[in-house]
Amino acid sequence: MPTSYVKHSGQRGKQPSLSQLRAFAAVAEQLHFRDAAAAIGMSQPALSGAVSALEEVLGVQLVERTTRKVLLSAAGERLAVRARTVLDAVGALLDEAEAVRAPFTGTLRLGVIPTVAPYLLPTVLRLVHGRYPELDLQVHEEQTSSLLDGLTAGRLDLLLLAVPLGQPGVTELPLFDEDFVLVTPDTHGLGGRRDLPREALRELPLLLLDEGHCLRDQALDICREAGRTDGVPVTTSAAGLSTLVQLVAGGLGVTLLPRTAVQVETGRNDRLATGYFADPAPSRRIALAMRTGAARGGEFETFADALREALRELPVRVAERAPACAPAQRREPG
């Protein structure tokens, strides 16, 4: 076959093989048949034949062969990028298959809400580094709605967030329940008490996170249950708990913190006091969430079991192991 012209095979159903694409990609990178053959462990005649076969399948000339060097044709320049993309995708597929065969290897893309990440990630990271050293954990901190979108779209593998979600197609693996604590200025009369009635929330100047944070919604639910009416204003003041707590220290109001955040956030300022509610205290549940029927579902359930044990050192009530792959329950109105 002349190097200046490639006849179209006319066989639309014929497709290039991976070995042909691999040979062409090596030639495109090395621009030398001998070096390309050595790079992929193929004999030079076999590599040259594979490239010629690919040209025949595609019906275009990919390379210009001369006695001294190899040049890519205009079509070769364009298709070399496509060939590399295909080979990379196949490599990713094989890596994922390996991860399924060997649990706790490969990449785990974990999404975490901002009101959990700073307080639980140290425990999560110690667990992963100590027990699953081959696992490449990638952490994404986002609000709940964004995390759920990422899970549904396949951008994320597993979520760590507050439940219930009421999201079809998502399975929750409960980890623990934690109480809410009232944070006040150190001069406030409720600071330091350990028997606060929920009714105390009815008239307090309450500071909350910006809209979009699930912790804000949970705090408002608690206030409504305590009898707080819409006529008592709530101030939206901060995008994060650290700022919120410093506003409390400055005397602008009070706020609710989850128990796991108290030590970190109140330890930065000695002008703060904490008050604990009488039993049953208002609380929230934290869980892992995965796509129902996820290929790595068994691995994620094992991870949840290990995480529950690791979390026993925190001021939380660890949940019992949920039935395998139980779908999330839809939250009832009200």
pLDDT tens by residue, 134-180: 999 999 999 999 999 999 999 999 999 999 998 999 999 999 999 99
**Cα–Cα distance for residue pair 34/53, rounded to 1 Å:** 18
Q: Contact at 8 Å (CB) between 27 and 21? A: no
Residue 3 pLDDT grade (very low, low, confident, very high; cuts 50, 70, 90)? very low
pLDDT score recorded for residue 295: 84
Q: Which two tokens stand for residue 101?
A: 């065969």
Q: Torsion over CA of 209, 211, 149 and 94, rounded to 10 degrees?
A: -20
Topology adopted by domain 106-176+286-318? D-Maltodextrin-Binding Protein; domain 2 (3.40.190)
Query: For the chain, what are the domain ranges?
Result: 18-100, 106-176+286-318, 177-276
Distance CA 266, CA 248 (A): 10
Question: What average pLDDT does the segment 58-71 reach?
Answer: 86
* pLDDT tens-digit series, residues 246-279: 999 999 999 999 999 999 999 888 899 999 999 9
- Averaged pLDDT for residues 54-63: 94
Give the CATH superfamily of 177-276.
Periplasmic binding protein-like II (3.40.190.10)
Is there a contact between 180 and 282 (Cβ–Cβ < 8 Å)?
Answer: yes
Q: If pLDDT is split at 50, 70 and 90, which confidence band does 323 have?
A: low
Does residue 114 contact residue 143 with C-beta atoms inside 8 Å?
Answer: yes
Residue-level pLDDT at 255: 92
Mean pLDDT of 74-101: 86
**pLDDT band at 221; cut points 50, 70, 90:** confident
Closest CA to 177 of 282, 33, 29: 282
> Do 177-276 and 18-100 have the same topology in CATH?
no
Q: How many helices (H) and strands (E) does the chain have?
A: 10, 12
**Which CATH number fits the domain 18-100, given the four candidates 3.40.630.30, 3.30.2310.20, 3.40.50.1100, 1.10.10.10?**
1.10.10.10
Summarised one tens digit per residue, pLDDT across range 222-247 is 888 888 877 677 787 788 899 999 99
CA pair distance 59, 39, nearest whole angstrom: 26
Q: Which of 274, 114, 118 is nearest to 185 (CA)?
A: 274
What pLDDT, in 10s, does the model give residues 95-142?
777 766 778 888 899 999 999 999 999 999 999 999 999 999 999 999
In total, the chain counts a number of residues equal to 334
Evaluate if residue 324 carries a pLDDT over 50: no
Q: How confident is the model at residue 13 (pLDDT cuts 50, 70, 90)?
A: low
Omega into 280 within 30° of 0, i.e. cis? yes
Cis status of the peptide bond prior to 164, with omega within 30 of 0:
yes
pLDDT confidence tier of residue 212, bands split at 50, 70 and 90: confident
Residue 86 CB-half CA count within 13 A:
16
- Find the helix or strand (DSSP H, E) in which 300 lies: helix 297-310
- From first CA to last CA, the distance across the chain in angstroms is 76
Res 67: pLDDT: 65
| pLDDT at position 238 | 83
Round the average pLDDT of the chain to a whole number and report it.
87
Categorize the per-residue pLDDT at 2 as very low, low, confident or very high, splitting at 50, 70 and 90: very low
Look at residue 313 and tell me whether its pLDDT is greater than 90.
yes
